[in-house]
Structure 1
């Protein structure tokens, strides 16, 4: 693959910084509402990503949906810095594995190779997200 997806390095440092800053003006209710909004956006992006995975999908379609999913994940990670950290860790692991699967997609016109891996990794991301979502009160 000629281009690699953005990485999620430095997440803990960013999350810790945001957690410290969020205590300086946002109420717990506002923080919870922002986290719930980020969770809804992430779920929507994940749905979009899973819908595109088919033998007819182009590599560009998958990469575009991946970019949107990655951005939604970064927003969710920032909003969930102190909330359900163990579940965020599980989601980070599953998202990292999906990132690797996306990076392994060949630069061919369709996804005939690697489609099962993408589906499995996306399913693991959904499971980790559902564990996180179960702890939220949205």
Structure 2
């Protein structure tokens, strides 16, 4: 049973790795799924550590954990990259908005738009800081 579960986890991980997601939401969902798969693999590994387990069974369970960890590691990189890109995009938007303010305009004329763009930078910063555990 343990070996079948390990094989199933491995196949699920390989299936997930074969799909390339493009949106930040898909990347986040993929990371969450990969985190769950790592939990399953670790639980299976723990169950393998019985007095009657063979070395081969422990090695197989370790390989399932390794595959799950690698998948989560790659998915987490994608999420971090998405968050960093969102911050870059928000900053570029604010910078462009400031550059687009006419030289003869008053700050009052542009303030609301600039505030909105600054809020986007703050939100992107907050999302990145949350991901980093700050």
Q: Same fold (TM over 0.5)?
A: no
TM-score by length of 1: 0.41
Q: TM-score, normalised by structure 2?
A: 0.42
**RCO (CA 8 Å, sep 6+): is it higher in 1 or 2?**
1
